Structure 1
Amino acid sequence: MTKGQAAAGVLLPTLPEDLRRQEPHAAVVEGQPLISILARERQALDRANARQARTVQFYDDLTTRYGARR
């Protein structure tokens, strides 16, 4: 427990590992149609956006649970 946690009297839950992960760009393979690369890049963006939404939900749950103000 850190000094700040002891002073606040709140032990925060561990951030899920999934929320720390960064999404890599789609690999560019020579000779592959550009539309397939674009499709994979959009899938990667969708995964990154979903992760960001889970991060916001995690934070919102914490602020609701502990009565923190933004």
Structure 2
Amino acid sequence: MTRGQAAAGVTLPPLPNDLRRQEAHAPVVEGEAVIAILARERQALDRANARQGRIVQFYDDLTNRYGTHR
């Protein structure tokens, strides 16, 4: 527990491990069609955006639970 948590009387839940993960770029395979590489890169971006949405939801749940506002 940090001093700030102790002073506030709040113990925050742990951040879900998924929300700490970085999304890697799609691998580039020599000779592969550019459209296939682009499609995989877009899938990686979709995963990253979904993860960001889960982070926002996690934060919003915390602020609603503890009565703090953005």
TM-score normalized by structure 2? 0.97
What number of residue pairs does the alignment pair up? 70
Task: After the TM superposition, list the runs of 4 or more consecutive aligned residues in structure 1 that deviate by more than 2 angstroms.
Answer: none
Percent identity between the two aligned chains: 79
Instruction: Point out which structure has higher relative CO (alpha carbons under 8 A, 6+ apart).
Output: 1
Structure 2: gaps spanning 5 or more residues: none
Which residue is 1:20 aligned to?
A: 20
Note the alpha carbon deviations across 1:29-67, whole angstroms, 9 max, x for none.
101111100000000000000000000000000000000
Cα RMSD for the two superposed structures = 0.6
Which residue is 2:41 aligned to?
A: 41
The structural deviation recorded for 1:26 is 0.4
The structural deviation recorded for 1:69 is 2.0
Q: Please tell me the residue identity of whatever aligns with 2:55.
A: T
TM-score normalized by structure 1? 0.97
Is 1:65 the counterpart of 2:39? The answer is no
